Structure 1
Amino acid sequence: MSLTGNPTLTSASAITNDGFWPNLSIADLLNNYRVPAEYADSVISTGLVMAIVRVNDVLYPVKEAVVSMGFNVFAAYVAAHHPQAVNSVNMLELNYHNAVHTRAKAGLLQQFNSMNRKPNAENAAKESESTEQYFLDESQLSIKALFDAVLPDAVVFGSANTYASLL
């Protein structure tokens, strides 16, 4: 049982990625990004998988560029071209993890509205659009960092919801 009285997750397994990008772990999402304990294992797993799919889709041009340089996995490219690390974790790999995990958290927090629980006001901060936008922007900043490192001439915004209008 968690401190909330809800059962703890039974699975904190790894999610196998596409072979190019690093595998991610549900445990890292839970521990480092404080996903609420109210979720069932399958909800968290699905949220993480969907975030991986979406981030990988956005980062396809980065993957294509790295593969065209002769690297079959992102880790090999990173080791050869961007060895900088913070706390023994490579900065580009950290940006990939952050992009996926914050995107997953943004999506998962919005599911609180559909769960049986106490009045909505108790979880208003978890569910607010500004909270979702914060995590989507964090994801986008990490995506931008990956583009800047591999494709510096690409125009990628650092905000998830950037719009242009004709004047």
Structure 2
Amino acid sequence: MFNGRTQDYDDSVIQNNGFWCDISVEEFQKQRAIPLQIPVEMVKTTLIAAMQGLNLDLAEVEENHRKSAVNSVQEISAQRVNGENYAETLYKKAVFARAKAELLPEFNTLSGREIHQNREYAAEQKSLLAEATHAIRTLKGKKRGSVWLL
């Protein structure tokens, strides 16, 4: 929207716990097409909440790696694509998907763009949360689906 104001991506980086990778706000805004009208503090808060939730979900994975003398996600695999190993990419994918799912209702509220009006958020949120769950399961070494004997 042209309104005479310039809006730029936020270049700040959210520091993580030392094991999992730090998260770039700008990378999230670009990769997930987050409208720049959404306040940066809201975006950061949502990313932090997603990171904290993921860190809790992956606490056992982190503990197992640390027992094996792997002290950061960067050490999990030497194979890299675009500077990241598979674990870094999956972690970011899960964080970004959870954060965007949380922000979706704000798109219509804060964005005057017609593209965000009358949008079906429930299905998109469900899809994003499924994407995050798949990435988490992969990081945990689990397959797409599981069956338990009761």
TM tier, smaller: 0.7 to 0.9
Q: How does 1:1-167 map to 2 (within 5 A)?
A: 3=1, 5=3, 7-9=6-8, 11-76=10-75, 78=76, 82-112=77-107, 114-115=109-110, 117=112, 122-125=116-119, 128-148=121-141
> Does structure 2 conserve the Cα–Cα contact (< 8 Å) formed by 1:4 and 1:37?
no
C-alpha deviation, 1:69, in angstroms: 1.3
> Does structure 2 conserve the Cα–Cα contact (< 8 Å) formed by 1:20 and 1:74?
yes
Q: Which has the higher contact order (CA 8 A, sep 6+)?
A: 2
> Does structure 2 conserve the Cα–Cα contact (< 8 Å) formed by 1:110 and 1:132?
no
For structure 2, list consecutive stretches of 5 or more residues without a partner in the other structure.
none
SS in 2 for 1:124: coil
1:109-158 C-alpha deviation (Å, 9 max, x unpaired):
12235547478x95233x5100111111111111111111xxx5xxx766
For structure 1, list consecutive stretches of 5 or more residues without a partner in the other structure.
none
Distance 1:115 1:86, change over 3 A: same
1:42-78 C-alpha deviation (Å, 9 max, x unpaired):
11111111110111111111111111112222222x1
Percent of aligned pairs with the same amino acid: 27
Distance 1:122 1:36, change over 3 A: closer
AA matched with 1:100 = V
Report the count of equivalent residues. Answer: 147
**TM-score, length-normalised on structure 2?**
0.82
| Cα distance in 1, alignment partners of residues 15 and 130 from structure 2 | 25
RMSD between superposed Cα atoms in Å: 2.8
**TM-score, length-normalised on structure 1?**
0.75
